[in-house]
Amino acid sequence: MKFYTVLGLLAMLIAHTVAAAPIASATSDGVTVTLYNEPCALAAVVNLPNRATWQEKGKTIEGCFTLVPEVSAVMAYFSDKTVVLMPMQVFSRVQAI
């Protein structure tokens, strides 16, 4: 099952769409982390290629992420200096509207 989760998230990252859109999200304890199929917007971050957001209490914090398939995880860094390593299994695919 881990292999298919990794494969699914990798496929979503590789797939290119016309407009940048969320591809997966995870919610826990009032925090929602959303992963996007667009480049990271934080100029200081060079090793986390894709955009992520952290939403909590009505506030959105920009960040960047990458997949770490060796441990079936998503690594993310946010502009408030929060660093997270989350299991891929907690993310659900975001459905296009």
Write out the chain's pLDDT in tens, 97 residues. 555 554 455 555 444 444 578 999 999 999 999 999 999 999 999 999 999 999 999 999 999 999 999 999 999 999 999 999 999 999 999 976 5
Output the pLDDT for position 20: 72
Domain ranges of the chain: 2-93
Provide the pLDDT for residue 2. 58
- d(C-alpha 66, C-alpha 23), whole Å: 13
**C-alpha–C-alpha distance, residues 26 and 36, integer Å:** 12
Q: What is the pTM of this model?
A: 0.79
**pLDDT value of position 95:** 78
Spatial contact of 74 and 88, defined as CB atoms under 8 Å apart: yes
DSSP the chain: -HHHHHHHHHHHHH---SS--EEEEEEETTEEEEEEEEE---TT--S--EEEEEEETTEEEEEEEEEEGGGTEEEEEETTS-EEEEEGGG-EEPPP-
